[in-house]
Amino acid sequence: MSVDKQTVEQLAELARIAISEETIDEVGKRLGNVLQLVDQLQSVHTEGVAPMAHPLDEVQALRPDEVTEPDRREEFLQLAPQSEQGLYLVPKVID
């Protein structure tokens, strides 16, 4: 079982990954293998079993509503390739 070319291209677009033309077949095959594994899992009888939200059988702890984080903008901006007027700059995006 292999995932077809069109689906691979669509997945690549959703994941913002560039996949070269010559690797599409190979990626499709590998994804197919993953799906086969998922199919195997799907065949397990799960009626009456609640879907698991987390592997740990624990409940989330909550934190009080307090401001605890200082302003570290200058440090964080240093990590970005480009910034200006306190803003992170990215290639232009418009819907």
Quote the least distance from Cβ 43 to other proteins, whole Å: 20
By the 10 Å C-beta count (0-12 exposed, 13-18 middle, 19+ buried), 28 is classed as buried
- Measured in whole angstroms, the distance separating CA 49 from the mean position of its chain's CA atoms is 27
Helix (H, G, I), strand (E, B) or coil at 37: helix
Binding site for other proteins (CB under 8 A): 10, 13-14, 16, 51, 53-54, 56, 58-69, 71-73, 76-77, 82, 84-95
Rounded least distance, CB 24 to other proteins, Å: 18
Q: Which of 1, 88 has the CB closer to other proteins?
A: 88
